[in-house]
Amino acid sequence: MKEDSGKNYLSRRFVAFIVAACAVIAALCAALWYLYASCGRGLVPAICATASIPIILILAKLFLIDPYRETERMLTLFSKGYSTEGISGLKWQMSEGVQDVVDRLADILLSDEAVNMSKRQAQYLAMQNQINPHFLYNTLEGIRGEALLNGSDDIAKMTETLSQFFRYTISNLETLVTLDSELANVRNYYIIQEYRFGDRLSLDIAFESEGDRAALQNAKVPKLILQPVVENAIIHGVEGLSVTGHVSIFIQYTGSRVILTVSDNGVGMSAEKLRELNDRMSNIYGRFGVGSGAGSGSEGGIALANVNNRIKLLFGEGYGIAIMSEEGAGTDVEITLPYITRYSDAEGIGP
């Protein structure tokens, strides 16, 4: 732990300097008034010197103290893990040197390296490096062929679905995909899970209106944001149920935003766990798995944090994930994205 070397803070020396300067001017004023009182001369200098104190204080407050406090507040928010956006565009910078350090820190946190360091991304890259996708697809196609020859249509269907799932997950390297393809991937994932759960699981995807469905046909969303959330809903919510688990995706469009709500009727989570999860979503250190903001976290929490992280890195802090849940009453995960139809639109939105 660093020692408190507050006596070396320049801010304190700065304040002490202002106080000392005012004290000197006050002493000068007193001397001038004494001079005036004793020999009747020097009234104007005395008045000017006296008037200068409030003028200096007002100017100091407007041009030094208030800007300093605002910058200090933004730096404090950054150090507590609330925000990175504020420090990237500070209205008043402390000094050139300090700003260089802050900019460098922000670059490290917001760079492509940070995106690529998120665990799930690393996992997919590792899979891609270690597995020859064509070998995988050819093998699955072979299994499908054998299954069809033996009349096992169910196995053939599942193999085909698995192949499509892997093609989407591994092969496609784009950051943004259409909403339709993301939903198609979720449906494939559901079909695969249906083989395990049977009638105990249902999935429902609905748009608020047919007009929204048409308007969102070309909408672009980050790849692999829905399937991890649905997977989370199944594993942590629905799996423990003794009745049929329902997972639904409700899509709303506001003109400038796309809101995707993934709901389940599962076991929900306690208030404590919910708070921990939401805090991890909002804390920048938690999002990058750094320091005390990261927490120990369950795998489900890591998946959601990963999705949230990518959204915020791409589009800024105004978008991301919010989780609402109650123990025994299910969970809602609300994903807010900007409405864009081209990748270049995303560049205008981010931090």
What long-range pairs does 140-148 form, CB within 8 A, spacing at least 24? 140/166
Using CA atoms, how far apart are residues 66 and 70, in angstroms rounded to an integer?
6
Q: Is residue 325 close enough to count as binding another protein by CB under 8 A?
A: yes
Q: Is residue 215 close enough to count as binding another protein by CB under 8 A?
A: yes
Nearer to another protein, 180 or 334 (CB): 334
Q: Is residue 324 close enough to count as binding another protein by CB under 8 A?
A: yes
Strand (E) or helix (H) holding 1: none
Residues binding another protein: number (CB under 8 A): 36
Window 261-320: residues binding another protein (CB under 8 A): 271, 274-275, 278-279, 282, 317-318
Among 129, 256, 292, 344, binds another protein (CB under 8 A): 256
Nearer to another protein, 32 or 333 (CB): 333
Using CA atoms, how far apart are residues 287 and 284, in angstroms rounded to an integer?
5
* Paired tokens of 62: 């407007």
Window 134-193: residues binding another protein (CB under 8 A): none
Stretch that binds another protein, among 16-24, 122-130, 133-141, 321-329 (CB under 8 A): 321-329
Query: Cα separations (Å) of 259 from 252, 335, 347?
Result: 5, 6, 20
Q: Is residue 332 close enough to count as binding another protein by CB under 8 A?
A: yes
Phi–psi pair at 160, nearest 5 degrees: -65, -45
Among 12, 13, 61, 257, binds another protein (CB under 8 A): 257
Task: Please answer whether residues 87 and 72 qualify as being in contact, where contact means their C-beta atoms are separated by less than 8 angstroms.
Answer: no
Residue with tokens 């997972």, as numbered in its chain: 247
Q: Is residue 103 close enough to count as binding another protein by CB under 8 A?
A: no
Closest contact distance (angstroms) between CB of 82 and another protein is: 5
H-assigned helices in 216-282: 226-232, 271-282
Cβ burial, residue 274 (10 Å; 0-12/13-18/19+) = middle
Binding site for another protein (CB under 8 A): 70, 74, 77, 82-83, 85-86, 89, 91, 208-209, 211-212, 215, 252-257, 259, 271, 274-275, 278-279, 282, 317-318, 322, 324-326, 329, 332, 334
